[in-house]
Structure formats: structure tokens, C-alpha cells
């Protein structure tokens, strides 16, 4: 900060806005914050200066300066109400988050702020910063540390009955358990979030997040129709708010359509009024997968996976479901190809399906073990031998049914005779 301060007045703020370049504006705003005056008007102007300064630093991608600003403002925080302090702190943390590649810096900043809030006994702010820290740790795949932090935070917030924060934390816990592949706990945490949300007014963005997480969990259980309805609700909420998550909700809606073999509906959804707003790589990727599924073409499927690697394979939710879809498509294609044969070379099947021999051989052996068809692999000559489906003899089940019926008749006669004798 500069040693010569500017008075905290509207003229100083106007001077910063009229500056020729951002660096000059930032310098002026720092000098405004140096004003030792603590009158109510000066404090109000300083709050405005902090907001403008954090916006300028974010635009200039000066994340380190934003972190230092929080430290420099600590004496100022003792002069203003705690609610305003919380608003400023969270605003600056949000500004740092908007600068790309600052995950580690955000974690360090949140940890530093948690220590300060503990020392200052600012419980309300500390709980929110800890929730933010848990989310950052989860994004950095520091799952055990995030879970430990959330477990203690949930107990504390439940005791205070802060419903809005409780919704945030339960939702975060559900995402964390889902990342750890613990579906029962993920569902339990989501139910807790819904219960808390039903008791209060939840902002549309938060409700959309709950619906999005519900859809993800239902899709994981292969209940794609219910998942689709949740993704649709999330899409409507995010679309109304122009939230960037809307495109992901739409993408997962299309995924559900593909998974229930309604790939023909995908083009219609994309060309609808709402879908046209989000045309781009995400939707193009799903359209390519839908086309491959409609044509039952493994080659087109693999081309889609290669061309849209970032949208398909690097999205963990889509990747998980497309892996099972790929397996299903491969099995259907192999069954169709081997159907006319009783004995066929594996190399010939691999040539027809345009896949490596070892990949086809591995899949065929898996299908035999899963009893998808009756056969065996003769690896000595590289052949697949297909057996005819053994026809079950109907006489045995019929005999067992007759014996069962005779047993019932004898039991009934025994009961009647016992009544007569009595």
C-alpha cells in the first residue's frame, strides 16, 4: 500500500473509475483503504473500494494480491459488523476462485482464514469457510481430509440448526461419498439435504444442485427414467439462471435417453428451443454417441470416444455409463456375428468387427463365462466352437409338479380323515 493516503470519499472512488488503466485504479483504491478515518461514511466508501479493488485484481489475475488483501484488511474488519465482514471475506475468496489454476492457493487461503476466524471467535464465517475448504479438498481428491472436516462440521451445524448451511454441507457430503463409491452413504446424505431443504426456502441454484445430484445417484442405480426427470428439473433451474451447469444437466439428460435405447430422441432434444442455446462440443459428443448407438456401430462409437475425449472419457459420470454401453454394444455385435456359425476363427470375427484379436478373444471368453451363449474357445487353433442351446426336457418339471400336487391331495385327505376319526 502507498504511504500517502486518499480520503475515503465518493470523489476518490470516481477518480479510481476514471483512471487510464487498471494498475492506476488499483493504486488509487489501495490509497483509499489507507485512510485512517473510521466514520460511518468513510467505512461505507472503503467497503465500496474493497469491492471494486477485488474485481480489478480478479480481472488482472492477481490472485496473490487478493490473498494479501484479506490479510491487510483484518484491522478494518474489527470496525465493521460481522455480517459485512463475512460478505467481504466470501466475496474475495470467490474472486480468487474465478482465477484459473489457483486451487492450491484457495486451499491455503481458506486454511489461513479458518485459523483467523477461530482466533476471532467468528463461528458463522468459520463454518462457511470450512465448507468451502471441504469442497476444494474434494476437488483436489484429498478425500480423507475433506471427510474428516465435514464430519465435525455437520455435527456442529446440526447443533446450531443452521438449515441453509446444513443443505450445503449434506449435499457436499453426498458428492464426497459418491466420489468414494459409497452409494448408500451418498443417498443418505442427499436425503438429509432434501429434508433440511424442505424446511426452508432454498435458492433455485441450490435446488438445481440437489436435483442434479439426485439424477446422478439414480443413474448410478440404472434407474435412467427417474434420473432423466431429475436432470430435466436441474436443467430448467440452471437454464433460467443462465448457470453454466445447465449444459451438463442437458448432457446427462441425453445420456439417459441413450442408455434406455431412445437414442433417436437425442437429435430432437438438441434441436429444441432450449437445446439450441447450448450447441457445442458437449452436445456434439452425445449426438455422436447416439448416432453410433442407433447404428449399433462399434467403430463409430470408438471414433466418438476418440474425437470427444475431453467431453466423454474425462467426465467421470458419462465415462462410467458409456463403458457399460460399449460392453453391451460389443456383446450384441459379437452375438450377431457368431450366430450363423458352429465353428469360426477368432481372427475372422475380429476382422469383421474391426477390433484387435486379443480384445475379441477376451470378450468372448467373458461372454461364455457369463452364459451369454454356449461355447468354448480352442486357443490351440484360434477357433470359437459354438454349441447348440441345450433344450430342456419338459418331462422332469411336469413330473415334479405332479408329485407336488399328489402330496397336497394326500395331506388334504389326511386332515379330513383325522376330523372323521375325532
Residue-wise pLDDT tens digits, 247-265: 999 999 999 999 888 888 8
Query: Per-residue confidence at 392, pLDDT binned at 50, 70, 90?
Result: low
As given in the structure block, the three cell numbers for residue 275 are 437445446
Confidence of residue 235 (pLDDT cuts 50, 70, 90): very high
Q: In which residue are the cell numbers 466423454 written?
A: 312
Q: What are the helix and strand counts (H, E) for the chain?
A: 23, 3
Q: Among 87-91, 130-134, 385-389, 398-402, where is mean pLDDT lowest?
A: 385-389
Handedness of CA 212, 199, 169, 64 (dihedral sign): positive
Given a cut of 90, is residue 229 above it in pLDDT? yes
pLDDT tens track for 33-62: 888 888 888 889 989 999 988 999 899 888
SS3 string, 36-75, reads CCCCHHHHHHHHHHHHHHHHHHHHCCCHHHHHHHHHHCHH
Q: How large is the average pLDDT for residues 273-285?
A: 88
Sign of CA dihedral 116, 120, 122, 123: positive
Predicted confidence at residue 293, as pLDDT, reads 86
Mean pLDDT of the chain, nearest integer: 88
Q: pLDDT tens digits for 328-349?
A: 888 888 888 888 888 888 888 8
Give the total residue count for the chain: 422
Which of 171-175, 281-285, 350-354 is least confident?
350-354
**pLDDT over threshold 70, residue 96:** yes
What is the distance between the alpha carbons of residues 309 and 322, in angstroms, rounded to a whole number?
12
Give the span between the Cα atoms of 220 and 236, in whole angstroms: 22
Q: In what order do the strands lie in the sheet with 383-386?
A: 343-345, 383-386, 375-378
Asked if residue 394 has pLDDT above 70, the reply is yes
pLDDT value of position 219? 92
| Whether pLDDT at 281 is above 80 | yes
Query: What value does the mean pLDDT take over residues 276-282?
Result: 88
- Report residue 354's pLDDT band, with 50, 70 and 90 as the boundaries: confident
pLDDT at 108: 92
Residue 385 pairs in a beta bridge with: 343, 376
pLDDT at 390: 65
Q: Would you call 412 helix, strand, or coil by DSSP?
A: helix
Q: What is the pLDDT of residue 1?
A: 42
Average pLDDT on 220-241 reads 92
Strand 375-378 versus strand 343-345 pairing type: unpaired
For 24-33, what is each residue's pLDDT tens digit?
888 888 888 8
Q: For the residues 171-200, what does the mean pLDDT come to? A: 92
pLDDT at 369: 85
Amino acid at each position: 500500500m502507498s504511504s500517502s493516503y486518499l480520503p475515503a470519499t465518493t470523489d476518490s472512488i470516481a477518480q479510481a473509475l476514471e483512471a487510464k488503466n487498471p494498475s492506476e485504479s488499483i493504486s488509487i483504491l489501495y490509497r483509499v483503504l489507507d485512510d485512517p478515518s473510521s466514520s460511518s461514511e468513510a467505512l461505507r466508501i472503503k467497503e465500496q473500494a474493497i469491492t471494486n479493488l477485488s474485481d480489478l485484481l480478479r480481472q488482472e489475475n492477481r490472485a496473490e494480491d487478493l490473498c494479501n488483501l484479506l490479510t491487510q484488511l483484518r484491522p478494518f474488519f474489527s470496525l465493521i459488523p460481522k455480517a459485512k465482514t463475512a460478505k467481504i471475506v466470501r466475496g474475495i475468496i470467490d474472486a480468487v476462485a474465478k482465477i484459473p489454476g489457483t486451487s492450491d492457493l484457495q486451499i491455503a487461503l481458506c486454511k489461513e482464514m479458518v485459523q483467523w476466524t477461530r482466533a476471532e471467535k467468528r463461528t458463522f464465517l468459520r463454518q462457511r469457510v470450512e465448507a468451502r475448504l471441504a469442497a476444494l479438498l474434494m476437488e483436489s481428491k484429498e478425500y480423507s481430509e475433506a471427510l474428516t472436516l465435514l464430519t465435525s462440521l455437520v455435527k456442529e451445524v446440526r447443533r446450531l440448526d443452521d438449515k441453509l448451511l446444513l443443505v450445503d454441507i449434506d449435499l457436499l457430503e453426498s458428492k464426497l461419498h459418491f466420489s468414494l463409491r459409497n452409494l448408500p452413504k451418498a443417498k443418505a446424505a442427499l436425503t438429509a439435504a432434501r429434508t433440511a431443504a424442505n424446511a426452508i426456502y432454498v435458492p433455485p441454484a441450490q435446488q438445481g444442485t440437489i436435483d442434479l445430484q439426485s439424477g446422478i445417484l439414480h443413474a448410478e442405480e440404472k434407474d435412467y427414467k427417474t434420473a432423466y426427470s431429475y436432470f430435466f428439473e436441474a436443467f430448467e433451474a440452471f437454464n433460467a439462471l443462465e448457470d453454466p451447469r445447465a449444459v451438463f444437466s442437458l448432457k446427462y439428460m441425453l445420456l439417459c435417453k441413450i442408455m434406455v435405447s431412445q437414442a433417436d430422441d437425442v437429435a430432437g432434444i438438441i434441436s429444441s428451443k432450449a437445446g439450441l442455446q447450448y450447441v457445442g462440443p458437449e452436445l456434439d459428443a452425445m449426438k455422436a454417441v447416439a448416432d453410433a448407438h442407433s447404428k449399433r456401430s462399434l467403430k463409430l462409437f470408438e471414433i466418438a470416444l476418440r474425437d470427444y475425449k475431453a467431453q466423454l472419457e474425462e467426465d467421470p459420470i458419462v465415462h462410467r455409463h458409456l463403458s457399460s454401453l460399449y460392453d453391451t454394444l460389443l456383446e450384441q455385435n459379437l452375438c450377431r456375428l457368431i450366430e450363423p456359425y458352429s465353428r469360426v476363427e477368432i481372427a475372422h470375427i475380429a476382422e469383421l468387427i474391426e477390433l484387435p484379436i486379443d480384445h475379441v478373444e477376451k470378450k468372448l471368453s467373458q461372454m461364455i463365462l457369463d452364459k451369454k451363449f454356449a461355447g468354448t474357445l480352442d486357443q490351440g487353433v484360434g477357433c470359437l466352437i459354438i454349441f447348440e442351446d441345450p433344450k430342456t426336457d419338459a418331462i422332469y418339471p411336469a413330473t415334479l409338479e405332479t408329485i407336488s400336487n399328489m402330496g397336497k391331495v394326500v395331506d388334504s385327505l389326511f386332515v379330513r380323515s383325522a376330523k372323521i376319526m375325532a
